[in-house]
Amino acid sequence: MTKETELVNYEHIDRDISWLNFNYRVLQESKDPSVPLLERLKFLAIYSSNLGEFFRIRVAHHRNLKKLGKNTKSQLDYNPNILLKQLYKIANKHLLEFNDIFENEIIPELRNHNIYLLSHREISKAQEQFLEIYFQENLLPFVQPVLLVRNKVKPFLNNSELYLTIILKDKEAEIKGDQYGIVKIPSDHLPRFIILPSEKKRFDVILLDEIVRYSLKWLFPGFDVIHSYSIKITRDAELYIEDEFSGDLMEKIKKSLIKRNIGPASRLVYDEAMPKEMLNYFLNLLEIHMGDLTPEGRYHNNFDFIHFPDFGKKELKNKPLKPISYKPFDDPELMFENIRKSEHLLCFPYHSYEPVIQFFEYAAKDPDVTQIKITQYRVAKHSRIMDALKLAASEGKSVFVFIEVKARFDEAANLAWGEEMEKQGVKVRYSFPGLKVHAKTALISRRENDEIQQYVYLSTGNFHEQTAKVYVDYGFFTCDEALTTEVSRFFGFLENIKLPTQPFRHLLIGQFNLNEEIHQLIAYEIEQAKAGKKAKIILKLNNLQDTEIIDLLYHASQSGVQIQLIIRGICCMVVGKDPISKTVKGISIIDRYLEHSRIYYFYHGGEEKLYLSSADWMVRNLHFRIETAFPIYNPDLKKIILDNIEYQLKDNVKARSIHYNSMNKYITPKSKKKFQSQIEIHKYFRERTDTHGKKE
């Protein structure tokens, strides 16, 4: 960074406040009447899931800093206590809106379509008989009612599990006053939604929570059930590994995983209708501070609403966008030949993910393939790619897999995959101390005409067959020697932990040249703008948080560089504010697919440098992760990406402003014609297939 930029005290938005702004954009989708009803319910579920993880990770982090006291505060550039109050205030305000949307919009709309989500007080006689049988045959083995005796019984509440707290009265009046009980709602064993017998053309469904409520009279014999209220605890999900650089890191991770679900509570979620006296009782019982409360409605763990039954009502869901077949890869046996002829770019989920899977499946069986190398960060539970790698090893091929165990919430799954791969003869290397390997790369070596030909697959997203159906990512196939040589060098580093002897000139690799090259590319645009020449930067990221780079972008804006941002999540830059960022424009798109690809574009004096990447511009990605950004040189493929960017910048249906004075406002159409980028991009790829066929 230049001295000029270091001297300027630029503004930044707190990353967690910015994240709450992002999650509110998800909530906005749930109240958009143009979104099909069951999709609106799905967005409520996603919002709820996101918020739960936020409290387990970010809020827990700030709470831990707060506990450390004044000495730590003096070393921080913010006050954790003040920030926590702000975060709770914003989150609780959003949750009030969440409850209003659910109760006053979603529920009535469901009823308009003859779908009734019933409480236990609304069921018919026939449904009562159904619930009594359900209780005996399904529920009874999993419920353990606990009568709380003051200062004697202190239950442990599992992380994110649902519980009912109950007000009881002794029928025999042996114990005077209200008694409290607690019972777990066993949604970890039973489905959350149970379809009830109902009248013709009517669809009745009940939550498992309500069945437990109905069953309380049997669970607490000798007591009258006065009322019940749901609660849940969110626990700190961080793995506290004091020293990653000594001892067995994998063993430390395994031990930390055992402790994760018994970590300290970061919040208590409760039914806001709960009486104050009862709430105070449970605060004391569970050792929760008043500042760590999150009021919600009658139900929690609303992510489960993603599994709400659709009763075959297709009109209440998005019309499916069928994944497009990529003609050049229709025959897996011709994939290598077609990659030799030209480079190929796929965009998921618009394109089918099948070619990526078949790339590995065919390589596993091809007798000419000698080596397969791949990085894995998050993997599908049932992964054909991982199965192909095991098959390749059993066929005698050399297979190397770098598995990043520290992928949050996938640690146990990744450890299990690693152990399974090792049993099949795959060479596996795990996490580096102090770093995460987040790169999405694969290299296949094949014997052709007595020489070894290398093929590379690079992507912005994980090798994950399931998320590829809903995450927007690019996948790039090439055998360009300039790139295959550098990818081979990259895998040499991962496999042998030896620093490359030659620099990377094409790939941008985290821990080597990624951060430095990004700074230089921005600096070049600044020089061009100061010389009175055209200067332009377009960034499509999940998150923009690194303050060094943000300050450099501020300097670029003040120098006259035109900057376009498409940021899905966190944006710590104050966008569009004169004088610091007057030439910066920014949008965020939340739609049916999760925008996951990272694209860096620099006009670069007309050369138009374009990179696809696994890396967001966050401190963690640029300084504590091994990432890849790969250049797109092919003009035809470059045009596809730039066309897609142009479509997103034209979006006037799902695009929200991230400008400092119009945060989360929908982009107002400049014409009457609506333009929804994800729908239009699907048409774009479909038309390319129809027009070009096998020439695509």
Residue 408 covered by a domain: yes
Residue 262 covered by a domain: yes
- 205 plus 290 within the same structural domain: yes
Distances (CA, A) of 405 to 57, 152, 583: 17, 41, 41
Give pLDDT, residue 24: 98
Give pLDDT, residue 257: 59
- 464 plus 531 within the same structural domain: no
Which mean pLDDT values do the consecutive 10-residue runs of the chain (696 residues) have?
48 96 98 96 96 89 78 71 92 93 96 95 94 95 88 80 93 76 94 94 95 95 93 77 58 62 79 93 88 86 93 95 95 95 97 97 97 94 95 96 86 88 94 91 96 97 95 98 97 90 94 97 98 98 97 97 98 96 97 98 97 97 96 97 98 96 90 92 91 48
- 335 plus 260 within the same structural domain: no
Residue 381 covered by a domain: yes
Give pLDDT, residue 2: 41
Give pLDDT, residue 254: 63
Contact (Cβ atoms closer than 8 angstroms) between residue 163 and residue 231: yes
CA–CA separation, 469 and 467 (whole Å): 5
- 484 plus 532 within the same structural domain: no
Catalytic sites, residue numbers: 438
Asked if residue 349 has a cis previous peptide bond (ω within 30° of 0), the answer is: yes
- 539 plus 659 within the same structural domain: yes
Residue 357 covered by a domain: yes
CA–CA separation, 470 and 349 (whole Å): 6
CA–CA separation, 318 and 36 (whole Å): 6
Looking at the structure of the chain, the number of domains it has is 3
- 434 plus 528 within the same structural domain: no
The CATH number of residue 578's host domain is: 3.30.870.10
CA–CA separation, 324 and 682 (whole Å): 8
- 539 plus 671 within the same structural domain: yes
Residue 153 covered by a domain: yes
Query: What DSSP character marks residue 490?
Result: H
Give the residues across from 586 on adjacent strands. 565
Give pLDDT, residue 573: 97
Give pLDDT, residue 692: 52
Give pLDDT, residue 694: 45
- 153 plus 257 within the same structural domain: yes
Strand spans (E) along 186-274: 193-196, 203-207, 223-235, 265-271
* Strand 427-429 with 436-437, pairing: unpaired
The CATH number of residue 159's host domain is: 3.30.1840.10
Query: Which residues, at least 6 apart from 17, have a Cβ–Cβ distance to it below 8 Å?
Result: 86, 87, 90
Boundary (domain end) residue, out of 284, 316, 348: 316
Residue 75 belongs to domain spanning: 15-316
Boundary (domain end) residue, out of 485, 502, 519: 502
- 177 plus 249 within the same structural domain: yes
Boundary (domain end) residue, out of 444, 467, 502: 502
pTM value?
Answer: 0.92
Give pLDDT, residue 3: 38
The letter for the amino acid at 111 is: R
Query: Minimal CA–CA distance to 587: which of 526, 644, 662?
Result: 662
